[in-house]
Amino acid sequence: MAVNAVTKDSKIKLNLDGGVDQKGKQIVKSKTYSKVKTAATNEDVYSVAKTLANLQKMPVVSIRRIDEIELVENI
């Protein structure tokens, strides 16, 4: 059985440094941006994410690309 992977959706997620809580544990907040073109290269997505990161009040901890993939069986 052969299966194809079809990318249906792509998003950018910025994890932001929200400081520390009373116990000293890091608080991570996130912002997600949808409607990223699925054909966009990782370099292009990273470049856009860095631009978005510069618009944030909090420092960026990490940048993630989230791809939603549908698995389809070949018939």
pLDDT in tens, 5-46: 999 999 999 999 999 999 999 999 999 999 999 999 999 999
pLDDT at residue 74 tops 90: no
Q: Domain count of the chain?
A: 1
Q: How confident is the model at residue 1 (pLDDT cuts 50, 70, 90)?
A: confident
b/e sequence 12-23, b meaning 16+ C-beta within 10 Å: bebebeeeeeee
Looking at residue 26, its pLDDT comes to 96
- Show the domain range for 16: 3-73
Looking at residue 41, its pLDDT comes to 97
pLDDT at residue 75 tops 90: no
